[in-house]
Amino acid sequence: MRLKFGTNPSSTYHADKELITLKASEGWRKVVEVERQDSNGRELHYSVEEVQVNNFTPSYSESTKNYVVTNTFNPTKATIGVSMGVEGGNKDLLPREIEVKVKDAWSTEYNSIQKIQLNAEKTEYSGRVSGYNVRKDGSTGVIDTRIDYEIPGYRKVQGKYQYIVNNIQKTVRVEKENGKDNIPFKIYLKQNGVKLENTVRTVKAGSTETFSVPETKFADGSRYTYTLEHEETPTLPEGYSVVKVSDELIKIKYTSPNITVNKEFTVTNGDKTNLPQTVSVTINNNKG
């Protein structure tokens, strides 16, 4: 502690008069004998100035020659980098920033909430957070952080937000009403009316197929639509057709072909008016 003096309370005080040491063992109090006047008989006025104490800010007050110095502790703020990766999903839906809970070494709880930002590439939340790491006795500690922030559709796995993949599943049953077995044709998924080429499958009558693709959403969170379709002009044997009953059922129908048999009589000699009224005709096939 320095004791400074001047001849007028409003004047600039002069050089150090005396260095005073205050001790905790003495109750931080010391009585100092000073001169009343200078050599010219002018009354002397005094002030005190504390020598810098690390991490403390002094303030001064005076009452009838009683000088009081009050020290306010200024904890040093340390900053550390914090990051949380982002993997998968529609990143246009991610929040711009997330909350980080901060705890210094001398706290029992995470008592500070700070924020880190999503970077331009949308691959990571990152930033720096601060906390107190110096005690009054000068000892240091460390900052601890915790991210509890939840993002819908994501889970926290090993230091990153990982998108939870939801699959859209469509199951279709292919039936035949009659006709041949194992007639192949192609079925595929449409996403918002657009054919997904990677979902095209050759399906046979009598089978059940399940189509599964990762669900996609619009930027506003609304879902895409998915429908099952079959080839518009499937290569089928003559007499067969494909009928989509619903997304869950497709039928292959067989329609027996019609054969028209005409009977004509050629009479070169004889009475044409005496022809038979009915004639039996046998229809044969190569069925074996």
Backbone angles phi, psi at 274, to 5 degrees: -105, 40
**pLDDT tier, 270 (very low <50, low <70, confident <90, very high otherwise):** low
Taking alpha carbons only, the member of 166, 133, 160 closest to residue 147 is: 160
Q: Calculate mean pLDDT across residues 56-76.
A: 79
CB 75, CB 55: distance < 8 Å: yes
Domains belonging to the chain, first-starting first, are 2-73 (no CATH), 77-163 (2.60.40), 167-254 (2.60.40.1140)
Q: Calculate mean pLDDT across residues 5-11.
A: 49
State residue 12's pLDDT score.
47
Give the sign of the dihedral formed by CA 211, CA 213, CA 217, CA 218.
negative
How far apart (Å, rounded) are the C-alpha atoms in residues 119 and 77?
25
Mean per-residue pLDDT of the chain? 78
pTM for the full model? 0.43
Considering only CA atoms, give the Rg of the chain. 47
Tell me the pLDDT tens digit for each residue of 88-111.
888 888 999 999 999 987 788 888
Q: Calculate mean pLDDT across residues 125-150.
A: 83
State residue 138's pLDDT score.
66
Question: Which residue reads 């800010």 in tokens?
Answer: 57
Q: Calculate mean pLDDT across residues 10-21.
A: 56
Residues 6+ positions from 48 with CB-CB distance below 8 Å: 1, 2, 3, 4, 20, 60, 67, 69
Give the sign of the dihedral formed by CA 234, CA 238, CA 240, CA 241.
positive
Q: Calculate mean pLDDT across residues 201-216.
A: 79
Is 120 a residue whose pLDDT tops 90? yes
Beta strands 167-176 and 249-254 are: parallel
CA angle 8–12–16, rounded 5-degree value? 100
